[in-house]
Structure 1
Amino acid sequence: MKALVYETAHDLADFALERTEVPEPTLRDQDVLVEVRAIGVNPGEAFIRRIRSAEPGGRVLLGWEFAGVVIAVGEHVRRFTVGERVFGTGDTTRDGSWAERLAVDHRILAKIPQQLSFVDAASLPIGALTASEALFRDQDTLPAGITRVLVLGGAGAVGSLATQLLKTRTSALVISTASREASRQWCSQMGADLVLDHTGDVPAQLNAAGIPHVDMVLSTAASADHLSWIPDILRPFGYLSVVDGVSSLDVGALAAKSLSLHTEMVFSRIVHGADPEAQGQTLESVAEHVAAGRLRPITTRRLDGLTAETMRTAHELVESGRTIGKIVIAT
């Protein structure tokens, strides 16, 4: 089959992906084989492309957000049958979805609602799973006492889905941050009750809005500057969820208010075998919300064709830091 692969970690200036022939995926007992129809593009994949090289004589095949059609099932699979449309993520220890076909554990997939295209389905899994696991307990419940949530970086994929899920599942006041007019408008469309500018003085903006503190911060776009004021706006015994891999964090500032810290990496369940079924259940819930019109896909840019050229274009957009919603490639 054809796939986009590379051998050596590289920057955009030395973009080295090529479309080439690779072996067919090996199907495990818990796997389904999916014919890939659409791929969501993620900043994390661009990051890995810059730092991960292949083993000698090998190649790297990335891609962990997709929608497609089941064309074979493993011996232990009962939830899916050949011909069904599915969407989901993958496993960072295995070949990814930048290929014509993908073998993936069926427990982290869900069926695509009839109303949803492959392209729009591929816009949802990473953002929805990351937001759900970072925010909720038992999929639908916020920690006790949370009535105000600040989503830092509300226009990205995780922020967009977090806002929607909060408005769908809870009565919390949702505050998003964005730095440009287009991204502020997008946050409002996602359902944010208030949108602040994270390049300005966020604590002052909150105070001006009559909000002295929030109960939870979901950080999808933290920097050292952001981290310095996040403890100031959280109430004592509040919650900070971090999904963006910050390199340093002053735990002392959190301890002064007895703040709870949650770090989130969406692949932890499948990589470590920690209840991966929960992710399939979350995606099933997302599919139900989409079918009922309570949640909308976040595709803002569609590219066509699984080629090195389209993937480079997608990564140029992602690395610009100005992406709103999700870029999806229809294969």
Structure 2
Amino acid sequence: MKAFILDHYKKKGPLRFGDMSEPEVGDDDVLVQVHAAGLNLLDSKIRDGEFKPILPYRPPFILGHDMAGTVIRVGSNVRRFKLGDEIYARPRDGRIGTFAQLIAVNEADVALKPSNLSMEEAASIPLVALTAWQVLVEAAALKKGQKILIHAGSGGVGSFAIQLAKHLGATVATTTSTANIELVKSLGADVIIDYKKQDFETLLTGYDVVLNSLDGDTLQKSLNILKPGGKLISISGPPDPDFAREQGLNWFLRQLLRLLSLKIRRKARRHRVTYAFLFMRANGDQLSKIATLIEDGIIRPVMDKIFPFAAVNEALAYIETGRSRGKVVVKMR
């Protein structure tokens, strides 16, 4: 089968378009013909080698974390899916590889795609939707009447998280550029901070939750808008000791991550708030719930561009500019 392959870690190194063996299908797997694959900055960071200590993939391997497609084979233990089902998924870590014509995925990671979305739209959803769900519903336990700041509201995670937070009944503030104010307003944002002209740190106060996806400086400033008991949740780091334990990392890496997050954890304690790092995990049941929200018209995908499959490298370069509004997808055919 044709695929985009990472032969060795290299910053901004191109993926190789070539042939790989068809994936083996385990008893609990579905084999999927990929129709479209979403791109994420996580793909770029893995390619650049930033995640080697905690996600030790051995090249050559196929990159890609989001996809939508059709089930063409099922393992002997599979009961939830059948041939011909249109599905979407974020395969679990260790089994990624959506930049390919075929992929085998554990059925627990898979859900029927929202019936009102195209394959391309569905492929844009899994990683960002699961991230938003696991931050807002699980980690933050966001409740009606609470206030949340979602940084980078026009991005993939931000555009989904705004809509989910509004559905949960929260008041939503977001940061964005001048060009994207109307977009985040259309998604339901109540308070919009134009980061090119305004400083969120001086304008916001008394917030319950902050979802950070930006740099360390933004992370530090976010502490100042939280009320006592508030939660600062970052998907861009630094990883904390809880994450290290969940990943089963060795003693040395656990100590390293403890040191990397020590400064922000200490500052959070002084502000009487909590800091947590979240690295999303695959979850087909959550994707099923998300599909219902999309089918009910509560949440809509925000798409930027659709590239042809042959242009995966160009699509990665585009999302690395930081200018994409919503998600970027490659279409297989």
- TM-score normalised to structure 1 length: 0.86
In 1, the alpha carbon distance for the partners of 2:265 and 2:294 equals: 38
Change (3 A) 1:50 1:137: closer
SS in 2 for 1:137: helix
Q: Superposition pairs for residues 215-230 of structure 1, below 5 Å?
A: 215-221=208-214, 223-230=215-222
How big is the shift at 1:260?
A: 2.2
How big is the shift at 1:54?
A: 6.8
Match of 1:185 in 2: 182
Equivalent in 37, 40, 51 of residue 42 of structure 1: 40
Match of 1:32 in 2: 30
How big is the shift at 1:123?
A: 0.9
SS in 1 for 2:99: coil
Query: 1:38, 1:119 within 8 Å by CA — same for their partners in 2?
Result: yes
SS in 1 for 2:61: coil
Match of 2:121 in 1: 120
In 1, the alpha carbon distance for the partners of 2:142 and 2:220 equals: 24
Deviations 1:180-222, CA, capped at 9 Å, x for gaps: 222222211221111113354212222xxxxx3211101122x
Letter of the 1:217 counterpart: V
- Confirm whether residue 242 of structure 1 aligns to residue 231 of structure 2: no
In 1, the alpha carbon distance for the partners of 2:84 and 2:180 equals: 38
Q: Superposition pairs for residues 68-107 of structure 1, below 5 Å?
A: 68-107=69-108
How big is the shift at 1:40?
A: 0.4
How big is the shift at 1:154?
A: 1.1
In 2, the alpha carbon distance for the partners of 1:93 and 1:54 equals: 7
- Confirm whether residue 213 of structure 1 aligns to residue 206 of structure 2: yes
Query: 1:152, 1:198 within 8 Å by CA — same for their partners in 2?
Result: no
How big is the shift at 1:144?
A: 5.9
Equivalent in 221, 225, 235 of residue 233 of structure 1: 225
- Confirm whether residue 157 of structure 1 aligns to residue 156 of structure 2: yes
Change (3 A) 1:146 1:108: farther
> Mind listing any 5+ residue stretches in structure 2 that lack a counterpart?
239-259
Match of 1:172 in 2: 170
SS in 2 for 1:75: coil
SS in 2 for 1:78: coil
- TM-score normalised to structure 2 length: 0.86
How big is the shift at 1:291?
A: 1.1
Letter of the 1:238 counterpart: G
Q: Superposition pairs for residues 17-28 of structure 1, below 5 Å?
A: 17-28=15-26
In 2, the alpha carbon distance for the partners of 1:42 and 1:153 equals: 15
Deviations 1:96-120, CA, capped at 9 Å, x for gaps: 1111000011111110132210000
In 2, the alpha carbon distance for the partners of 1:95 and 1:41 equals: 12
SS in 2 for 1:26: coil
Equivalent in 275, 278, 283 of residue 261 of structure 1: 275
Letter of the 2:195 counterpart: H
Query: 1:299, 1:326 within 8 Å by CA — same for their partners in 2?
Result: yes
Match of 1:10 in 2: 10
Query: 2:69, 2:119 within 8 Å by CA — same for their partners in 1?
Result: yes
Query: 1:146, 1:216 within 8 Å by CA — same for their partners in 2?
Result: no
SS in 2 for 1:136: helix
Query: 2:114, 2:292 within 8 Å by CA — same for their partners in 1?
Result: yes
Give 4+ residue runs of structure 1 displaced > 6 Å after superposition.
none
Letter of the 1:229 counterpart: K
Match of 1:135 in 2: 136
